[in-house]
């Protein structure tokens, strides 16, 4: 197949993808029609952003949090100072804080857990190759809704993530398993032609062994929930404080009304015109 024909087929695929992206949210359309080249670029951006979030999930599954932050997150000011990683109870702000809490402390936690496990399970040795042993972190990405800014400098995306987690109780060595259903909202910045995570907001609808919980409530943020396999006291005592505490999202309960606090992105031209995740 000649190069020209390959390019034409690739462009056609991109145009189809670009057209499909506009279906993810019913919003205002730009008055100016996009050229074929602009549509192809938009489709390419869409796929690259999806790949960035997918790589986030793969890094997390392997427990490679520090490597993820280096590879996928913003690296240049002023974005490094305003980077934000938000969960239900609060936020980490700035790449230095995110690296310490999400990256470095994760490694510290793994070392403490392995030391404790080696004392209660004779089949687990306290050696570096066993760091993260017994951990299962599965977070799937579904229902992608992505908007690239008209100026091409930033982008926004929202996903739903049904998943499951498992670990070994550091005190008893007994396995714990929980369901994990979450929503992701993310802002992206293009640095030197590469899309990078700028803000990431993870809203947990529920995480736990739901059928066994009273009144239909299941939470991984309740450290007294033994079935959720929460961190042992040795780790909780060293856990860094979040930079900002706020009730960013309420988990499911029988009295919760569905809300749109983590809403899909809408078309926009430049980031100052839209909201921030």
Alpha-carbon distance values, 39 to 45, 46, 144 (Å): 10, 10, 18
CATH topology (fold) of 3-15+34-273: Nuclear Transport Factor 2; Chain: A, (3.10.450)
The predicted pLDDT at position 4 comes to 52
Q: If we measure between CA atoms, which residue out of 256, 262, 30, 277 comes closest to residue 149?
A: 30
Q: pLDDT digits over 127-142, tens only?
A: 999 999 999 999 999 9
The predicted pLDDT at position 54 comes to 97
Mean pLDDT of 72-100: 97
5-19, 83-97, 156-170, 258-272: least confident range: 5-19
| 2 has a pLDDT exceeding 70 | no
Sorted by where each begins, the domain ranges of the chain are 3-15+34-273
pTM for the complete prediction? 0.83
Instruction: Specify the 3-state DSSP secondary structure of 239.
Output: coil
């Amino acid at each position: 197949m000649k190069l020209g024909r390959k390019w034409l087929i690739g462009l056609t695929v991109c145009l189809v993808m670009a057209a499909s992206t506009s279906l993810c949210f019913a919003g205002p359309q730009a008055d100016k029609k996009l050229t074929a080249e602009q549509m192809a670029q938009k489709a390419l951006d869409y796929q690259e952003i999806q790949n960035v979030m997918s790589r986030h999930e793969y890094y997390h599954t392997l427990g490679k949090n520090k490597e993820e932050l280096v590879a996928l997150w913003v690296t240049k000011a002023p974005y490094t100072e305003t980077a934000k990683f938000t969960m239900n109870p609060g936020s980490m702000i700035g790449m230095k804080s995110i690296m310490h809490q999400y990256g470095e402390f994760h490694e510290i936690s793994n070392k403490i857990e392995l030391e404790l496990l080696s004392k209660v399970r004779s089949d687990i040795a306290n050696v570096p190759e066993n760091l993260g042993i017994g951990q299962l972190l599965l977070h799937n990405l579904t229902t992608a809704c992505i908007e690239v800014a008209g100026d091409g400098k930033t982008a926004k995306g929202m996903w739903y993530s049904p998943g499951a987690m498992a670990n070994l109780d550091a005190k008893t060595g007994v396995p714990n398993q929980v369901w994990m259903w979450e929503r992701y909202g993310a802002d992206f910045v293009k640095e030197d032609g590469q899309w990078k995570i700028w803000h990431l907001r993870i809203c947990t609808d529920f995480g736990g062994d739901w059928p066994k919980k009273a009144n239909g409530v299941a939470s991984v943020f309740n450290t007294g929930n033994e079935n959720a396999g929460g961190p042992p006291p040795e780790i909780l005592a060293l856990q860094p404080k979040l930079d900002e505490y706020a009730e960013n999202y309420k988990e499911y309960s029988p009295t919760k009304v569905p809300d749109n606090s983590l809403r899909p992105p809408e078309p926009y031209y430049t980031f100052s015109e839209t909201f921030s995740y």
